[in-house]
Amino acid sequence: MRLPQETIRRKRDGATLEPAEIADFIAGLTDGRVGEGQAAAFAMAVFFQGMSIAERVALTQAMTRSGSVLAWNLSGPVLDKHSTGGIGDAVSLVLAPMVAACGGYVPMISGRGLGHTGGTLDKLASIPGYDATPDLDRFRRVVSEVGCAIIGQTADLAPADRRLYAIRDVTGTVESVDLITASILAKKLAAGLDGLVMDVKVGSGAFMAGIDAARALADSIVAVANGAGLRTVALITDMDAPLASAAGNGLEVAYAVDYLAGRREPRFHAVTLALAAEMLVAGGLAPDLDAAATMLEASLASGRAAETFSRMLAALGGPADLMEHPTRHLPAAPVIREVRAEGKVARVATRAIGLAVIGLGGGRTRPEDGIDGRVGFSELARPGDASGLLGIVHAADAAAADRAEAALRAAYSLGEAAAEGPAVIERIAPKP
């Protein structure tokens, strides 16, 4: 094995790493020969020096090979979607059962919160009894019988990525195109997919604040994934305001329940439908995006998507009646407070809302930190909203509510709002 400090030094100095060097470093990260400090140094070196496409492919493949790679024998295509993360991004919770209700199989391997953004895995942890880290046999069985399962990385799937992911979260190395690409695709390649749709967020609440950076990440993911044999397209979507009107783990689960029950906000619905439609087309379940959207709307209207969601929860140990009785099962915060201000919302500092959720206890500042699933915000206002309600704080105590209220007020600018742009900004397909 090459010395990890030499690999770190070479990348720090701008060298192009050979695939064998990268493979050795990731093998050491997996078996414990590479320490947390060395992994953090490697991540920082990559953050500043970058990687070529060939290096990204090698890093992705090394992390994929660090654990099991699934193979499926199902009656339909195996499909997935991944988001770079944002505020109020509860799309995965509803998209997986929608696609499953239309004939796809969705083995979705999700992550914890990263930086200022919430993670699907943390949202699921707020559901009593839900086993987000089942063994592979149970994972396979649930996907086969229900059509979808949303879980976290198990010890078997891309374990090197799981370790590096936790270190990046607390070392200021989240916003790296190279590391994001490898992290996402290692999990997806390990899941044995037939097709992937990538949701790259752009705006004040995204890791990629500008469109050029978002395009660079979308291009990277599409190029590396398709180069590895996984059919992938990417959509660039807006994150200049929270996508859902809820931010916080249990609150976003409650929002997903409301969505599946028929209470839908336009922009959240538009993004969900666009991503899910791409999945159906990628899997050959619909001839085009319009036909796919029609199928997805029917899965919602008929209740099949909601039923699939309930079956997934029950199969993984959660309450089968969450759809019918969400307040019976989801944790409620002790302090709930409206935050009001007169005037029209002009802009939202969306990242600040995500940081405020962390401040409430709904996110981490260290890898070992616990999460309070009760806290966050609901009824968040969007640009152009003049109702007077900026949002509702859900906090563990009055002091935390005071801090969150101040943060929420500071995140909103009042005045004349420019018209919002499209929720789905751009589509990135493989280059011929």
Identified catalytic residue from 82, 112, 140, 311: 82
Clarify whether 31 is annotated catalytic: no
Check if 80 is active-site: yes
Beta strand 195-202 pairing with 231-238: parallel
104 near 305, Cβ under 8 Å? no
Please pick, among 110, 117, 176, 183, the residue that the annotation labels catalytic. Answer: 183
Kind of pairing between the strands at 345-348 and 376-378: unpaired
83, 181, 220, 232: which is the annotated catalytic residue? 83
What's the rounded Cα separation, in Å, for the pair 98 and 100? Answer: 5
Phi and psi at 28, nearest 5°, equal -65, -35
Alpha-carbon gap, residue 40 to 316, rounded angstroms: 34
Tell me if residue 120 is catalytic.
yes
Q: Please, is 82 exposed, middle or buried when counting C-beta atoms within 10 Å of its C-beta (0-12, 13-18, 19+)? A: buried
- Looking at 11, 188, 351, 374, which residue is catalytic? 188
Closest to 85 in 3D by CA, of 219, 199, 177: 199
* Residue 117 bears catalytic tag: no
Catalytic residue among 7, 56, 80, 117: 80
Full DSSP string of 308-362: HHHHHHHHTTS-TTTTT-HHHHS---SEEEEEE-SS-EEEE-HHHHHHHHIIIII
Distance from CA of residue 389 to its chain's centroid?
27
Helix (H) or strand (E) holding 148: strand 148-152
Catalytic residue among 168, 267, 311, 351: 168
Active site residue 126: no
Q: Is 187 a catalytic residue?
A: yes
- Please confirm, yes or no, whether 337 is among the known catalytic residues: no
Backbone angles phi, psi at 427, to 5 degrees: -115, 130
Distance separating alpha carbons of residues 319 and 199, to the nearest angstrom: 29
3 state DSSP class of 37: helix
Catalytic, 83? Answer yes
- H or E segment at 376? strand 376-378
- Are 391 and 377 in contact by the 8 Å Cβ rule? The answer is yes
Active site amino acids: 80-83, 120, 168, 183, 187-188
